Chain A
Amino acid sequence: MIFSVQVKVMPLKELLDPQGKAVLGGLTNLDLRSIKDVRIGKNIALQIEAETAEQARAAAEEATKKLLANPVMEYFEIEIS
């Protein structure tokens, strides 16, 4: 069975995110002043062949820990649909 897996990778909360800061500046220029903070990460979509959702999650987790995210600067969440 093929599982669609989404890996959300975000910069650690304590880190400055210059990309988010630049976008916040753009939003402020658009007068969207109710938006107080922007942080930008990545969404990585994987198609994983596995027998169960647990196996698919395990495969996604291994890929994320080995390559997709770097724990020094990022945290991640895995979602299976």
Chain B
Amino acid sequence: MKFGVVVFPGSNCDRDIQDALQNDLNKEVIMLWHKDKNLDMFSTQDGIILPGGFSYGDYLRCGAIARFSPMMQSVVEFANKGGKVLGVCNGFQVLCESQLLPGILLRNANRQFICKNVFLKGADNKTLKIPIAHGEGRYYAEDKILDRLEANNQVIFQYCDQKGSVNAAANPNGSLRNIAGIKNEAGNVFGMMPHPERATKQALGNVDGKIILQTLLMN
């Protein structure tokens, strides 16, 4: 299994995820320039990552212009064929704008750019410590969409406290229902605001991100 990492003008976590996948998870990684559109070297057994950072200055809305880049057209096709796609932070915003995932990410409720470790509760109820770093991470969708996400088990991560309790105090940005990450109905497109690629080695003081990358992409 190999991975493609899309590089937009303004991406700044692209090298981090490349390093995490190559050096900490021993996977082949190909960097993909946003102006190219060839994904022929990937099969649906492979994965494409939309990294964190910014894209096209995040003008208009975060991820709005990236959605129409040549490479994103190919990524949408790849996702629709069943290939795995993971968007982290700005990548999550791009996936929402591309309508590969429902909802949208709005300015944090407290108006601050938040950069710190948070705790996440995943599908298996295990608590993971992962860093966040964003100004627009407040997940929003209509109630009926949120209900559907929960009913279909599409909420993959919720902000929680160290003990795993999902509550308002543990919600850093005002996301509805503490949502930190979701997947699409088919289960092959994942978006999350926290940065697993910043937590994949002991030298970084945290290896919980490795578990996330393995669980989402390598199962």
Binding site for B on A (CB under 8 A): 15-16, 18-19, 21-22, 67-68, 70, 72-73
Contact = CB atoms under 8 A, between A and B. Distances in A.
Given A67-B64, A67-B68, A16 B109 contact: yes
18 contacts: A15-B106, A15-B140, A16-B106, A18-B107, A18-B108, A19-B107, A22-B111, A67-B64, A67-B65, A67-B68, A70-B61, A72-B96, A72-B103, A72-B140, A73-B61, A73-B104, A73-B106, A73-B140
Interface of B: 60-61, 64-65, 68, 96-97, 103-104, 106-111, 138, 140-141, 174
9 closest A-B pairs by beta carbon, nearest first, are A18-B111, A72-B104, A18-B107, A73-B104, A22-B111, A70-B61, A16-B109, A70-B104, A73-B106
Given A19-B107, A72-B140, 20 more contacts: A15-B106, A16-B106, A16-B109, A16-B138, A18-B107, A18-B108, A18-B109, A18-B111, A19-B111, A22-B111, A67-B65, A70-B61, A70-B97, A72-B96, A72-B103, A72-B104, A72-B141, A73-B61, A73-B106, A73-B140
Given A15-B140, A16-B174, A73-B140, A68 B107 contact: no
Contacts of A70: 61, 64, 97, 104
Contacts of A67: 60, 64-65, 68
A63 B37 CA distance: 24
Name A's interface SS.
helix
Contacts of A68: 60
Contacts of B138: 16
Nearest to A74: B61
A44 to B, nearest CB: 9
Contacts of B140: 15, 72-73
Contacts of B141: 72
Nearest to B65: A67
A68 B68 CA distance: 12
Contacts of B103: 72
Nearest to B111: A18
A19 B135 CA distance: 12
B97 to A, nearest CB: 7
A21 B106 contact: no
A73 B136 CA distance: 13
B91 to A, nearest CB: 17
Contacts of B65: 67
A73 B64 CA distance: 13
